[in-house]
Amino acid sequence: MRATWQNAGSATGLVRCRLHIPALDLDLNPRISSGRPLAAVRRFIASHLPTASSALIGASFSIRAEIRAKGGGARWRVLSRWQFGESVDDALDRATSEWRQLPKEHKAR
């Protein structure tokens, strides 16, 4: 029997959050691997997304989860996308909901 960390379709625990803010010439794409990656994504967005709407024009972010592929490698699945004019909270809630539905890898200790 294969360990759950070898099963295709399981989330590895890594998440990426690409934040693009043209007005500030900012393009960040950190890998987040904390025990609670979506909470870390929320903190990342809260700390880097400007509050001034003029700085947000054209801004966007996407949240992706690393998923184990059939051959043992990994692929990235989009959990949520946001662009200026949409609700940030709704986008983060969608990502959290998608994350909760994914089976997770459990590595042997």
Residue type, 21: I
pLDDT tens column, 35-85: 899 999 999 999 999 999 999 999 999 999 999 998 888 999 999 999 999
User: Domain residues of the chain, as ranges?
Assistant: 4-101
The answer, yes or no, to whether residue 24 has pLDDT greater than 80, is yes
Question: For residues 56 and 28, what is the distance between their CA atoms, to the nearest angstrom?
Answer: 15
Per-residue pLDDT of 4-20, as tens digits, reads: 556 888 999 999 999 99
Contact of 97 with 61, CB cutoff 8 Å: no
Q: Determine the pLDDT at residue 108.
A: 55
